[in-house]
Structure 1
Amino acid sequence: MDQSAKPATAPDSPPALSRICVIGAGVMGSAIAAHIASAGVPVLLLDRPEGDDRSSLAKNAVARMLKTEPAPFMDPAAAKLIQPGNTEDDLGAIAGCDWIIEAIIERPDLKQALYRKLDTVRRPGTPVSSNTSTIPLAALTAGMPESFKRDFLITHFFNPPRYMRLLEIVGGPETDSAHIAKLTGFCDRVLGKTVVKAKDTPGFIANRIGTFWMLVAVRAAIENGLTVEQVDAVIGRPFGIPKTGVFGLIDLVGVDLMPHINASMKATLPPGDRYRAFADDIPLIGKMIETGHTGRKGKGGFYRLTRKDSEKIKESISLTTGEYAPSERFRLPSHIRHASDLMTAPDQHGIYARRVMGETLAYAASLVPEISDDITGVDKAMELGFNWKKGPFALIDEIGPARFAALLQAENIPVPPLVEKVGSGKFYEDRDNIRNAFSPDGTYKPVPRADGILLLEDIRRRGRPVLGDKSGALWDLGDGVACFEITTKMNTFDDGVLALLEKSVSHVKENFKALVLYSDADNFSAGANIGLALFAANMAAWEEIRKLTAKGQTVLKALKYAPFPVVAAPAGLALGGGCEFMLHADAIQAHAELYAGLVECGVGLIPGWGGCGEMLLRLRADPRTPHGPIPATREVFEMIATARVSKSAAEARRMHLLRKDDGITMNRDRVLADAKARALSMAEGYVAPEQPEFRVAGESGRTAFTMAVDGMARQGLVTSHDRTVSGELAIVLTGNGHDVTEIVTEQQMLDLEAASFMRLIRTTPTLDRIGHMLETGKPLRN
């Protein structure tokens, strides 16, 4: 975790763990080690000895991860924090570790044999946890010493650990509560996890419900004669479930896992559990495993890609015959948008939805308080463990609990006591501007928030925005700090967003100490709305495009030179104009998963809102950049011309999109609080930056860049229009005729950007690129 910019008002510091041991260098264990190392914590990674190099399993795992996509490491340099070893020669090194994570094969006998070895070398009181997803804690600790039981718990990471935010923690009756508190704090603040406390029951929370959901969905699809495309459309967007749906998800995690899950659940679930009614093996899945169709890791699964001539063809399997045929996209009627629409639809898709989601939501409701003390733990586990936008109880609220109970009765599905108890009410209610959740005891209690978490959804609940329209809003975060939020699709910029931002800057100047730029959407901003730009270009409304370009420059510079500190708090995508928005802040407090870049060249344009100048300033301010205007300009040219995007905040720092003193927050839910604290720390005595001057690379620099691009063109690495676009970029970055001895003002740089932008937007290849990107989501190589 980045320590360069700690929040000024951060509540408690995370518990210090100076070194962690992970045992088991398989896919899961090694990825856990990579994530811990990415957080800046040294890791001892052990596996059994094998071959001449007895630590080869662990060493090979690290090497493999450096080539894996999506990358387990946030920064490849983090691999240096992993020390590979083996469980015989290096066992004694465990004594220097503050936490031991076991991630070996799912066999209690092998795990216990390992635990007995660990008990001879670990420091007394060192917590030991298992990453098991199927074996109850009681089975793992049976027959172990009481001292070991006090230090043992389950920490269930979800795969892949870097990208899946959920961590289920399970303690036993003998587990020292101090260990649970310590690891909860560490995993939250340092590893960026949302920690859910689960009970020692089969599958814990997310897998218990999620695997039940998949089983019911597959069986009901086969029985009702639906196609895999129909199922993934039905059990998808209307319920806030990712577009992978059910069958796409099974392909992703592996078709061959389903029989193992079934066997494990049948072996551990109590008699009469509803899960057992659906847990028999499915012949089609058995046949798929036999033929190697185990999902994306095999020959394909319910979906597969084949080639005909040079064309890739997506195929899907028939659930009745097991044969593959070209996949046919299925769309639900346009009026089906929400769960409530589908659950009451009279057609076969409504019947299917009621059967699958009725069973699933009812099962989830029947398991509280068996698997979790409250409904919020269940909802959070499904939201983060299976990427549902809403958890089971929030979905029941959308349908209406009373209506849901009636639907269950009509389907002959038992109505859970908790659903009966909430009656005509809701599982979630806002009381005194605070979110409350229905408890098993029949009362409402505030939804818990960990210390130091500030969520925009809570700010919204407390009142109306200071300013706002359909484009965005300005919120009062308290303590004199305002927050500007964009609310357009993908948080893209249009004239409405720019107008509101301009108005917000003026309002903050008169009424607040500082401003934070933030969104709790998945992405900070995907940049300017290129669809509007294409529409205007097709209408030959060049003056309107010029005005929008000038307006963007004016507003972002007003933000930069405002008489109060501005802190950008980006997460997810910050592309094109969204990246320029971030670059104009005084400081950045980024989420660790930041995918930022000036990508305009990909659609045949160049940055038009000051991005070129801001990147030149960042490069030249870095003492590591060689002296003189050309080295910095060359690096900026290469980054923008190739539309390079960071794969993490750590990489964004290496790209100079983040400066050395900008902060990185691992936990997504803590980004806003950290940004607010950063803004407050800058407010007293704040002085706006002075306008910069540039010494450009001049004609010699432009010639060098042109020659480099020409050489790439001869090798077939760049297209004809790439040369045109990069040529315009070179004009801006090198000063368009200004000599290296001359001073170029910031306004002159902006004028150069605008002129090149307008020349490019008028070209047919650029318009073709924009149209292709809007239609396919992919760049056009023309």
Structure 2
Amino acid sequence: MSASTIEKVCVIGAGTMGAGIAAQVANAGVPVLLLDIVPKDGDDRDAVAKGAVAKMLGTDPAPFMSKAAARLVETGNIEDHLDRVAECDWIVEAIVERLDIKQNLYARLEKLKKPGAAVSSNTSTIPLEKLVDGRGEEFRSSFLITHFFNPPRYMRLIEIVRGPHTDAAVADGVVDFVDRKLGKRVVPTRDTPGFIANRIGTYWLAVAVNAAMDQGLTIEEADQIGGKPMGVPKTGIFGLIDLVGIDLMPLLTASLTANLPKGDPYFDTVRDQPLIERMIAEGRTGRKAGSGFYSFDKKTRTKRALDFETGEYRDPVKPQRLPPRAEGDLHALTNAPGKTGPYAWEILGKVLAYSASLVGEAADDITAIDDAMKLGYNWKYGPFELIDRLGPGRLAERLEKEGREVPAILRTAGERPFYRVQDGQRQYLGLDGEYHDVGRPEGVLLLEDIKRKTGALLKNASAALWDAGDGVAVLEFTAKMNALDGEVMKLIGKAVPLVAEKFKALVVYNEGSNFSAGANLGLAMFAVNIAAWSEIEKLIAGGQDAYKALKYAPFPVVSAPAGLALGGGCEILLHSDAVQAHAESYIGLVECGVGLVPGWGGCGEMLDRWRTMPGQPKGPMPPVTKVFEIVSTATVAKSAAEAKGYGFLRESDGVTMNRDRLLADAKAKALSLVEGYTPPEAPEFKLPGAGGKAALMLAVDGFRKRGMATPYDAVVADALAEVLTGGDADLIDTVTEADMLALEREHFMKLVRDPRTQARVESMLETGKPLRN
């Protein structure tokens, strides 16, 4: 079995997890059958599963990547339609966590499923051997645990448990499918309670909550100390619990206390929590309820914090800054004076020791534990990467000094790090005391591995060029948020002749959280504040030159975005020969939101896309209207699939579900374009001119009168309309690509001088939100 042999999936259980798993299968383009119980009331026996799909279509963030994906989900119920599991190659059980109910379902499935079809449970609490107790040999050989994390679309971790009787081919097929089709990084785990991520994660959160209350910290102080310095998501500890749901804490506690062996350190964290019990009883269960450890008022956009002593909310109190070294040095953090050091040590000392004790029990090696925590809880560093930052010897010495048990692997490490780089290869320390290569699945190529083995071909403060092998170079952005500036444009100018001379193709790619958030607005505002208008115009002209150099280079250029590709980041994609996008790419020309128009060729490229798009009305006005609608509203596609509908991507552009496989897929696409490659011809346009602009602005005026557009929105829209309709051009005139670029520059510069645009840019820099002026 392989990914290609799983052609249909059945998910049984249409709760939050089951429905989310079904949606992600559909996102992969694979038909899925979603079944649940027959409701007690009503005439529609499929209402539960249907209701789950309808709810997901209205959920934000969206479980579905497109409406087309939702149409791949069939719904039914387990009384009338369970026999249809025979159509499916993989059956996922995601029902209530009760062993008797699961076993009853498996007894029915055993008689209905086709031979060789995989069956898996999404459980995280019940041992595999108990689940298959009483089942026959064929069923046991096709059974495994596939533990997804919520929400299934966005969380990349999946923990997989194979039983002693699980057929390797069946398990390998499911692993291949969830990797390539569902975009997950598979972490193999042993059949122990809570597996890896939830066992460590639940312990970590319990330790952190207890210590904050015991040591008299405020919520803000705890989130400051236990957050960013430890590489925890920006939510901090209590913010993360609010996000996950406070009502989930007692459920996880009950599960782990019922299943963990006696003497496990987790039992030391279990205590009565009257405050948390009260919060749950009052419905204050976190973000989903509008209040938890923090309360949120969406109307006033205010945030308040819980007082541990009173249980009531108060205005937030900004904690004192951490000592300078403590923000980036874990040793300094855990030894800092006041509240900081004791709280940091209580968390790190216990959680890192606990994680180290689970090597050989919950996981085979340290890489599984680190991957599970980074992918399942969004830690920036895994436990063993944190130990390396703290110092393995220091950690063991302090644990021993306090009379606490030192895990065996810490003693094995001694003063040695858990990770090292040897001859360009990252290695990890095993239980045997030897270093082993960190492996990659077949077909995975990471730039971080390339960079360990070779130096940059070109490099400056904002970009670099690397040799990815096989005649393919990689252009990487390196600034904060991968923002684009003059340094990027300079490097592109140097890269194009170098690639033309020594390589076959170029891939534009990086491994940051975002491909590019667009132009460096902070740098632009600095230039505005000193009235360096010529420098701004030089940046716009330089960007246009750089992007056209990529477009007309004598070799294929493939861009490979993931995360945000906004403004200038989107324009890079529009100028590429092809795009291989990660499924979770959020693409858009958002310049109008900050009072500007696209300035690096985006207007012309979008017009060219829409006038040649199959099925679109002919004539000069339809593409102009469509591009105006998309760009003036700063529309952002919320997935690669949606991006095709807006024209940011072509139908022929590829989509990669697994982020780890993006570079390899983009490289393969680039090489496929090499033979017989010729650069595109420059487009010429017939645009509607003043009459077309008047029609566009009539619609804008209507929006303004209804309060759907602000007065300055209309000013910005007027400039965009002028560009898209060709300025002074008449319908009989030919508008060249150079003409379009000149119009972009002219109107960009007019708008950037306007104080109202400057106010929008400043608001975006300060708050991250657009100003409606």
Q: TM-score, normalised by structure 1?
A: 0.97
Amino acid at match of 1:475: W
- RMSD over aligned Cα atoms: 1.3
Q: Which residue of 2 aligns with 1:768?
A: 759
Note if 1:643 corresponds to 2:634.
yes
Opposite residue 476 of structure 1, the aligned amino acid is D
Aligned to 2:683: 692
Q: Is the 8 A contact 1:604 1:765 kept in 2?
A: yes
1:299 is displaced (CA, Å) by 4.9
CA contact (8 A) 1:355 1:411 kept: no
How far did 1:280 drift? 2.8
- Deviation for aligned residue 1:345: 2.0
What amino acid sits opposite 2:482 in the alignment?
Answer: N
Separation in 2, partners of 1:413, 1:185: 42
Counterpart-to-counterpart distance in 1, 2:180 and 2:6? 12
1:462 pairs with 2:467: no
1:627-682 C-alpha deviation (Å, 9 max, x unpaired): 00110110000111000001000000110100111100000000000000111111
1:134 partner letter: T
Q: Counterparts of 1:526-565 in structure 2 under 5 Å?
A: 526-565=517-556
In structure 2, C-alpha distance between the alignment counterparts of 1:71 and 1:195, rounded to whole Å: 23
Further displaced range: 58-67 or 329-338: 329-338
Q: Deviations over 1:87-125 (max 9, x none)?
A: 011011111110000000111111111111111111122
Match of 2:383 in 1: 392
- Give the structure 2 partner of residue 71 of structure 1: 62
Among 325, 338, 363, which residue is 1:335 paired with?
325
CA apart distance, 1:505: 1.3
Counterpart secondary structure, 2:508 = strand
- Which one of 119, 133, 145 corresponds to residue 154 of structure 1? 145
Question: In the TM superposition, what is the alpha-carbon distance from 1:81 to its structure 2 partner?
Answer: 0.6
Note if 1:620 corresponds to 2:611: yes
1:633 maps to 624
Which of 225, 228, 243 aligns to 1:252? It is: 243
Give the structure 2 partner of residue 316 of structure 1. Answer: 305
Matched with 1:413 is: 404
Structure 1 CA distance, aligned partners of 2:757 and 2:468? 41
Deviates more, 1:247-256 or 1:454-463: 247-256
Whole-Å Cα distance in 1 between the matches of residues 58 and 13 of structure 2?
Answer: 19
Residue aligned with 2:287, SS: coil
Question: For residues 230 and 372 of structure 1, do their structure 2 counterparts lie closer, same or farther at Cα, with a shift above 3 Å needed?
Answer: same
| 1:269 matches 2:254 | no
1:410: how far off? 4.1
Structure 1: state its 5+ residue gaps: 1-11
- Please tell me the residue identity of whatever aligns with 1:319: F
**Matched residue type, 1:336:** A
Report whether the alignment pairs 1:288 with 2:279. Answer: yes
Taking a change above 3 Å as real, the CA distance of residues 299 and 657 of structure 1, as seen in their structure-2 partners, is closer
Structure 1 stretches (4+) deviating beyond 4 angstroms?
A: none
Aligned to 1:336, the other structure's residue is in SS state helix
Tell me the equivalent position of 2:100: 109
Q: Counterpart in 2 of 1:52?
A: 43
Q: Deviations over 1:526-560 (max 9, x none)?
A: 11111111111111111111111111111110111
CA distance in 2, matches of 1:173, 1:616: 59
Q: Deviations over 1:584-636 (max 9, x none)?
A: 11100000001010000000000001000000111111121100011011000
Give the letter aligned to residue 749 of structure 1.
Answer: M
Partner of 2:16: 27
TM-superposed deviation, 1:311: 3.4
Give matches, 1:4-23, under 5 Å.
14-23=3-12
Match of 1:363 among 339, 354, 359: 354
The equivalent residue for 2:481 is: 490
8 Å CA contact 1:233, 1:243 repeated in 2: no
Distance 2:491 2:672 in 1: 26
SS of the aligned residue for 1:524 comes to coil
Q: Percent identity among equivalent residues?
A: 56
Which position in structure 2 is the counterpart of 1:4? Answer: none
CA contact (8 A) 1:58 1:86 kept: yes
Q: Contact between 2:65 and 2:642, CA under 8 Å: does it hold in 1? A: yes
Matched residue SS, 1:683: coil
SS at match of 1:393: helix
CA distance in 1, matches of 2:389, 2:145: 33
2:289 corresponds, among 276, 288, 298, to: 298
Q: How many angstroms does 1:312 deviate by?
A: 4.2
- 1:511 paired with 2:505, answer no
- In the TM superposition, what whole-angstrom CA distance separates every residue of 1:296-320 from its partner, at most 9, and x where no partner exists? 223511111248xx73432111223
Q: Secondary structure at the match of 1:129?
A: strand
Residue among 394, 414, 432 paired with 1:441: 432
- Partner Cα separation in structure 2 for residue 193 and residue 99 of structure 1: 16
Aligned pairs (5 A) from 1:111-126:
111-126=102-117
**8 Å CA contact 2:116, 2:170 repeated in 1:** no
| Partner in structure 2 of residue 41 of structure 1 | 30
Letter paired with 1:121: L
Letter in 2 for 1:699: A
Whether the 8 Å contact between 2:325 and 2:333 is mirrored in structure 1 is no
Provide structure 2 residue ranges, at least 5 long, that are not aligned to the other structure.
none
Higher RCO, Cα 8 Å, sep 6+: 1
C-alpha displacement at 1:293, in angstroms? 1.3
Counterpart residue number, 2:188: 197
Following TM superposition, by how much is the alpha carbon of 1:173 offset from its aligned partner in structure 2, in angstroms?
1.2
Q: Distance in 2 between matches of 1:13 and 1:137?
A: 23
With the length of structure 2 as denominator, give the TM-score of the two structures: 0.98
- 1:500 pairs with one of 488, 491, 500: 491
Q: CA deviation at 1:254?
A: 1.2
CA distance 1:414–1:657, shift in 2 (3 Å): same
| 1:746 equivalent in structure 2 | 737
Q: Which AA in structure 1 matches 2:638?
A: K
The equivalences for 1:702-717 within 5 A come to: 702-717=693-708
Letter in 2 for 1:160: P
State the SS of the aligned residue for 2:663: helix
2:126 is equivalent to residue 135 of structure 1: yes
Matching residue within 224, 230, 242 for 1:233:
224
Q: Say which SS state the counterpart of residue 355 (structure 2) adopts.
A: helix
Single out whichever of 337-346 and 499-508 deviates more from structure 2: 337-346
2:323/2:336 contact within 8 Å kept: no
Query: Could you say what secondary structure the match of 2:4 adopts?
Result: coil
Deviating more after overlay: 45-54 vs 587-596: 45-54
Task: Output one character per residue of 1:699-728: Cα deviation in whole Å (capped at 9) or x when no partner.
Answer: 221110011111111111111111110100
Cα offset, 1:501, TM superposition: 1.5
For the residue of structure 1 that corresponds to 2:679, the secondary structure is coil
* Counterpart secondary structure, 2:676: coil
Distance in 1 between the 2:75 and 2:168 partners?
A: 31
Preserved CA contact (<8 Å) 1:167 1:194: yes
CA separation of 1:37 and 1:311: change in aligned 2, threshold 3 A? closer
Aligned to 1:581: 572
Label 1:287 to 1:91 Cα distance change in 2 as closer, same or farther (>3 A): same
Q: Which moved more, 1:448-457 or 1:685-694?
A: 685-694
CA contact (8 A) 2:445 2:660 kept: yes
Higher mean displacement: 727-736 or 276-285: 276-285
Could you say if the C-alpha distance between residues 403 and 511 of structure 1 is closer, same or farther in structure 2, counting changes exceeding 3 Å?
A: same
For this pair of structures, how many residues does the alignment match?
A: 769
Residue of structure 2 in register with 1:326 after alignment = 315
